[in-house]
Amino acid sequence: MGSQDSQAVDGQTGVTGRRALLGAAVLGAGGAVLGLSGAARAAAADGTAEVRHGGGLRSLPVPTIIGHRGASGYRPEHTFGSYQLALDLGAHVVEAGDLVPTKDGHLVCRHEPEIGGTTDVADHKEFADRRTTKVLDGVSVTGWFTEDFTLAELKTLRAIERIPANRPHNTLYNGRWEIPTFEEVLKWQDEQTRKRGRQVWIYPETKHPTYFRKLGLGLEERVAKLLRKHGKDGRNAPVILQSFEPSSIQRLNRLVDNPLVVLLSSATSRPWDFVEAGDPRTVADLITPAGLREIAGYAQGIGPTLDLVIPKDANGDLTTPTTLVADAHKVGLILHPYTMRNENPFLPTSFRKGTDADAYGDVFGAYKTYFATGIDGVFTDNPDTGLLAREDFVNS
């Protein structure tokens, strides 16, 4: 990483590399203020000094490398082993974590409530009778669910690798780490910030918020309460909040001042809160200029799939970039697409090398293509690879 970028990451000195800092207020060709958080960009444009939400986003380097579920390319996801490695590798932000609740109301870090695929729960005979089938956001799912376990029970489990066919080496760490709680993450963030002498950023996500609210386990109030307790609910707090359900982000918008990001799945999909509310709109509607303007009224960014930035053809090859980056920037929203992974099956076809499911493809080529669209950051399972690709890009 170049020296200017190092300063941006480590010291947050305000020194600007060519594309290094969100706070640099770089003027783009069209005169738009690039590289600022959405609200901050709008404020900078109209001269307003005060921005309620997301001001701290300005201290992050661009493009921002976000460790997806930690460094999940190398360690079982959503463990302190994975989070710690993401920091060690230099990730600017760590997605710690995807948040789901326990039966007794604690928030824990799992990608989904069903834990059969990411823990050793199947080996625990005492929990055999908890295996069940539920309908989760319209999909029938069989397994074990966090909301049926107390925190004490979940703490007896250990994490395992989700995709051993792609990541056989990661199984070395099966059984090593327990499921983190969100409160443990908030304390870990402070410890790591002190220890490393640089601000550690996290990027938690509310998972299935409508589903859990109907079970009496609303997520947003719990998130807000913990953020407040740890003094991390302000506009400059190093905690970005994300959700696939716009109403969850709107609720968080009323509870805290943190930067907020609306996640966007495929164009034809409907956020589950829309389904429940009878709102017929799809993601395609949300990414129109009008849809993006509406999002910019309560969030600072969007987290689209990479396919919404550059669609693939039937062969899995990249086609022409959409106007999403320009359209989002026009209304002051930053873009943090997901998810870059080094292994062949997760790359566009033309960037694969051979056919092995656990072999790496030409991921640098893929990064170059995606960064060229002007995205503000990216979620990646391999933060070290992402940082090298970023270095190539900012020095190009």
Residue 257 touches which of Ca ion, ligand G3P, none (CB < 5 to 8 A by kind)? Answer: none
C-alpha span between 191 and 212 (Å, rounded): 30
From its phi and psi, is residue 112 left (phi > 0), alpha (psi between -120 and 50) or beta? beta
- Asked if 386 and 364 touch (Cβ cutoff 8 Å), the reply is no
C-alpha span between 341 and 363 (Å, rounded): 8
- Name the helix (H) or strand (E) containing 383: helix 383-394
Compute the least distance from the CB of residue 320 to Ca ion, in Å.
Answer: 27
Stretch that binds Ca ion, among 33-41, 94-102, 192-200, 355-363 (CB under 5 A): 94-102
Question: Binding string to ligand G3P for residues 150 to 189, with x set by CB under 6 A, is what?
Answer: ----------------------------------------
Q: Which residue is nearest to ligand G3P (CB)?
A: 338
77 forms part of the interface with Ca ion (CB under 5 A) = no
Compute the least distance from the CB of residue 66 to ligand G3P, in Å.
Answer: 8
Stretch that binds Ca ion, among 58-66, 96-104, 300-308, 314-322 (CB under 5 A): 96-104
Compute the least distance from the CB of residue 95 to Ca ion, in Å.
Answer: 6
Residue 338 touches which of Ca ion, ligand G3P, none (CB < 5 to 8 A by kind)? Answer: ligand G3P
C-alpha span between 89 and 96 (Å, rounded): 15
242 forms part of the interface with ligand G3P (CB under 6 A) = yes
Question: Binding string to ligand G3P for residues 293 to 332, with x set by CB under 6 A, is what?
Answer: ----------x-----------------------------
245 forms part of the interface with ligand G3P (CB under 6 A) = no
Pairing of strands 139-143, 132-136: antiparallel
Q: Which of 122, 94, 124 is nearest to 109 (CA)?
A: 94
**DSSP code per residue over 91-127:** -SEE---EEEE-TTS-EEE-SSSB-TTTBSGGG-GGG
Q: How far is CA 132 from CA 63, 108, 144, 145, 146, in A?
A: 42, 20, 6, 8, 12
- Residue closer to ligand G3P, measured from CB, 156 or 265: 265
C-alpha span between 328 and 335 (Å, rounded): 7
Compute the least distance from the CB of residue 226 to ligand G3P, in Å.
Answer: 19
337 forms part of the interface with ligand G3P (CB under 6 A) = no
Rg of the chain (C-alpha set)? 20
205 forms part of the interface with Ca ion (CB under 5 A) = yes
Runs of H (alpha helix) within 105-245: 151-154, 182-196, 209-214, 220-229
Q: Which of 301, 379, 389 is nearest to 98 (CA)?
A: 379
- Asked if 49 and 343 touch (Cβ cutoff 8 Å), the reply is no
Of 98, 147, 257, 381, which one interacts with ligand G3P (CB under 6 A)? 98
Compute the least distance from the CB of residue 307 to ligand G3P, in Å.
Answer: 12
Total residues interacting with ligand G3P, rule: CB under 6 A: 11
- Residue closer to Ca ion, measured from CB, 98 or 384: 98
C-alpha span between 135 and 262 (Å, rounded): 24
Compute the least distance from the CB of residue 98 to ligand G3P, in Å.
Answer: 5
Compute the least distance from the CB of residue 396 to ligand G3P, in Å.
Answer: 26
Under the rule (CB under 6 A), what is the footprint of ligand G3P? 68, 95, 98, 111, 205, 242, 263, 303, 338-339, 379
Binding site for Ca ion (CB under 5 A): 98, 205
